[in-house]
A = this chain, B = another copy of it.
């Protein structure tokens, strides 16, 4: 049976205080739900999204073929996170450009579009906003919170900020913080955007332009870090554009500005697509939220001490060829949880696809998540 998704929106009038000390007045959150909340309201699962995703996690929109949610392989009727058993909630984060209040919204203090004046939001702020949405939906406790990459950071943060409200947390292809190289890639992408003459200090909307050059570069950099070396070589190697067969490697056109290799064509295409729909200020905000996430920082750098607050049962998943958030980073979280004698399942999946693997259909990966959620469903039923 096809799951039909319906976007919803919730308005919040109380200001949300932020980690930075600022606050957001009167905001909206776009969200979707799948499945049915059970009588004792105990089967809710919040799914947190990463950089380029939204509240549209699963299913398709009516009359829009090809509109599958970004984690539709994972979530739906009979799927690893089974919407016949769980009530799944996808929320678009504050500062995003897909429906929730963000830089393209009007600032009620000035009656102008926020642009660069949208306050800096953190993983913790997003979790607080998600908790308020649950309050509004009448859900006190989550059966589980889950997310991949930046979404995994939110899941981890949930267990620290609201330990009593989270019974299980699935943290997939994630990390306890960004390392210097991760921050470096984010910074180059941000510089490409900020130094694009069409950025206008973040107030480009007023000028009727979009810093597309910067967005393209940012997306190209992102794509390189999402994929593994192996999968790039398997998919593109040194194939030339438009070349076929044995001669494919032999005929160079000797150009510095035009496309010569297939990988260049792929990256340019990804960059072009992205620059058509993604908001530049949102890109800055979300990458900064990644940079800032670091639960150990108020505990002298000790992740073990930082995670002492978490009482949920955990599933950690990492992918062998993920060099953005390597298995070693997931193992740091596993170790810190075990130091605190927490219940942790850990699956290190041997997959060729790099960081992107968490979004793909890998049988062992899906089986691990299915088994873990199956146990939760059984507990709920008993």
Residues on A close to B: CB < 8 A?
Answer: 19-22, 116, 119-120, 177-181, 183-185, 187-188, 190-192, 194-197, 201-202, 213, 216-217, 220-221, 223-224, 227, 229, 232-233, 235-238, 246, 249-250, 252, 254-257, 260-261, 263-264, 267-268, 271, 281, 284-285, 287-288, 291-292, 294, 297-298, 300-301
- Asked if residues B232 and A256 are in contact (CB atoms below 8 Å), the reply is no
Given contacts A120-B254, A249-B297, contact A180 B217 (CB under 8 A): no
- Asked if residues A181 and B238 are in contact (CB atoms below 8 Å), the reply is no
Q: List 6 A-B pairs, Cβ < 8 Å.
A: A116-B257, A120-B255, A185-B224, A188-B267, A250-B298, A256-B287
- Asked if residues B180 and A238 are in contact (CB atoms below 8 Å), the reply is yes
Q: Which residues of B contact A235 (CB under 8 A)?
A: 180
Q: Which residues of B contact A238 (CB under 8 A)?
A: 177-180, 183, 294, 297
Q: How far is the CA of A103 from the CA of B90 in the complex (A)?
A: 54
- Asked if residues B263 and A187 are in contact (CB atoms below 8 Å), the reply is yes
Kindly identify which residue among B116, B196, B221, B261 contacts A183, using a CB–CB cutoff of 8 Å: B261
Q: How far is the CA of A301 from the CA of B250 in the complex (A)?
A: 10
Q: Which residue of B lies closest to A191 (CB)?
A: B217
Q: Which residues of B contact A294 (CB under 8 A)?
A: 238, 249
Q: Which residues of B contact A281 (CB under 8 A)?
A: 256
Q: Which residue of B lies closest to A231 (CB)?
A: B180
Q: How far is the CA of A131 from the CA of B305 in the complex (A)?
A: 64
- Asked if residues A181 and B284 are in contact (CB atoms below 8 Å), the reply is no
- Asked if residues A291 and B261 are in contact (CB atoms below 8 Å), the reply is yes
